[in-house]
């Protein structure tokens, strides 16, 4: 599947390989749970009845096994079952389910006890590509759209990760690469990533709203699974410029919600970027020398990243109009002219991540536009190399 297939309403039910999920809960979560949740929404099934059905299922399941790979998929199934109770509050879920989730986390220390970005997107989509099985909360055509929402994140991230790692090499070993080639390739990768994001324009706000509430965290509980926790976007920003105070606050609170592989990488890159291992500082102190053409290529890359941020902002405005009732201050020009960043912990209209969605998105644009101005100011400064 490529981005042109996303959100076109097609249902691809054929497996990629004759391999079935090792989770003993597979059949229920794949085939019964979406229909049960639809019946709950229509009033044909109560949450108490849903809990009773799940108690019976869990009582019939034998030992869950010791394989860590199978445990990840089983945890995904358990948390999808738990996620079905999110609209009713945490007390509605059967105690047997929450205790089993806790027990699995104690046995396998790497498992998340909540439906994280890593489980919802990475583990879920890897299972789809391996076996054709993907977990969704919705039945029918809406389930296909929900599937594409998850797949779009999974399929797009390698593009922006490639851009981030290419720039990392440019910063750490500038004499070992050709800057023009690195910058052009990074710009191409970010443009491809943005094209994936633009596919989300095909998803209606109504459809998104019908499965989004299963991703939300409970008040006082863990943050919900959100695109805000896609790590490679953060890697690209950290290699371009040092973290600001406001961005650092976001990273502090978000770190434990990024995928497990990314947490140590983000921590290293953040520390290094704070110490000057980033494109902006490397240009300022002469470790990275770019002529006028090189500066233009870097500005083109930054513009592609701004394009992504603006596309993301526009799609979020359509999906969550209540967070953008005030339409002022949302153009590229207005964001670039704003005086500094805004508080991302503003509790008004939090996104799925629990952060103030408007400020997270506009701050990201603002930082890149500041970087663009800074880079252009260096264009006339001669280098020693």
Residue whose C-alpha is closest to residue 368's, from 329, 316, 310, 323: 310
Residue 329: left (phi > 0), alpha (psi -120 to 50), or beta?
left
Residue whose C-alpha is closest to residue 357's, from 216, 256, 236, 242: 216
Residue 227 has, within 13 A of its CA and on its CB side, a CA count of 21
Residue whose C-alpha is closest to residue 319's, from 198, 196, 206: 206
Residue whose C-alpha is closest to residue 192's, from 4, 385, 383, 384: 4
Q: How far apart are CA 341 and CA 367, in angstroms?
A: 8
- Give 3-state DSSP helix, strand, coil % of the chain, rounded to 5: 65, 0, 35
Residue whose C-alpha is closest to residue 62's, from 34, 113, 100: 100
CB 41 within 8 A of CB 99: no
Q: What Å distances lie between residue 175 and 54, 170, 172, 184, 289, CA to CA?
A: 60, 8, 9, 17, 10
pTM of the predicted model as reported, rounded to 2 decimal places: 0.92
Number of C-beta neighbours around residue 12 at 10 A:
14
Q: How far apart are CA 244 and CA 344, in angstroms?
A: 12
Q: Work out the burial of residue 371: count CB atoms within 10 Å of its CB; fewer than 13 is exposed, 13-18 middle, 19 or more buried.
A: buried
Backbone angles phi, psi at 9, to 5 degrees: 85, -5
Residue with tokens 């019964």: 32
pLDDT tens for the chain, 385 residues long, are 666 678 875 545 444 555 677 899 999 999 999 999 999 999 999 999 999 999 999 999 988 888 888 999 999 999 999 999 999 987 899 999 999 999 999 999 889 999 999 999 999 999 999 999 999 999 999 999 999 999 999 999 999 999 999 999 999 999 999 999 999 999 999 999 999 999 999 999 999 999 999 998 776 788 889 999 999 999 999 999 999 999 999 999 999 999 999 999 999 999 999 999 999 999 999 999 999 999 999 999 999 999 999 999 999 999 999 889 888 999 999 999 999 999 998 757 778 888 999 999 999 999 999 999 999 998 765 554 4
């Amino acid at each position: 599947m490529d981005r042109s297939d996303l959100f076109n309403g097609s249902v691809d039910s054929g497996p990629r390989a004759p391999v079935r999920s090792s989770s003993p809960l597979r059949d229920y979560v794949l085939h019964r749970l979406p229909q049960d949740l639809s019946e709950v929404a229509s009033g044909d099934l109560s949450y108490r009845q849903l809990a009773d059905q799940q108690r019976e299922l869990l009582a019939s399941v034998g030992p869950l096994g010791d394989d860590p790979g199978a445990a990840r998929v089983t945890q995904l199934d358990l948390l999808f079952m738990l996620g079905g109770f999110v609209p009713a509050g945490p007390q509605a879920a059967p105690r047997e389910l929450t205790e089993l989730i806790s027990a699995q986390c104690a046995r396998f220390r790497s498992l998340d006890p909540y439906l994280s970005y890593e489980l919802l997107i990475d583990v879920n989509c890897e299972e789809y590509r391996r076996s054709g099985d993907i977990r969704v909360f919705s039945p029918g055509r809406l389930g296909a759209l929900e599937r594409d929402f998850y797949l779009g994140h999974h399929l797009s991230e390698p593009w922006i990760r490639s851009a981030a790692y290419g720039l990392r090499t440019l910063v750490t070993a500038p004499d070992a690469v050709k800057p023009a080639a690195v910058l052009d390739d990074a710009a191409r990768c970010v443009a491809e990533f943005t094209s994936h994001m633009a596919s989300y324009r095909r998803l209606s706000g109504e459809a998104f709203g019908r499965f989004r509430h299963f991703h939300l965290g409970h008040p006082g509980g863990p943050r919900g699974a959100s695109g805000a926790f896609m790590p490679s976007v953060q890697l690209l920003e950290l290699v371009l410029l040092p973290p600001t105070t406001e961005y650092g606050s976001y990273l502090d609170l978000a770190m434990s919600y990024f995928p497990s592989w990314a947490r140590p990488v983000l921590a290293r890159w953040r520390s290094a970027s704070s110490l000057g291992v980033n494109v902006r500082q490397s240009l300022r102190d002469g470790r990275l020398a770019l002529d006028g053409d090189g500066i233009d290529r870097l500005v083109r890359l930054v513009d592609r990243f701004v394009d992504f941020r603006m596309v993301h902002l526009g799609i979020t405005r359509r999906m969550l109009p209540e967070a953008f009732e005030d339409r002022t201050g949302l153009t590229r020009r207005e964001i670039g002219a704003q005086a500094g960043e805004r508080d991302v912990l503003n509790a008004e209209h939090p996104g799925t991540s629990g952060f103030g969605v408007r400020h997270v998105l506009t701050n990201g644009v603002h930082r890149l536009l500041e970087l663009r101005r800074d880079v252009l100011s260096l264009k006339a400064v001669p280098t020693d190399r």
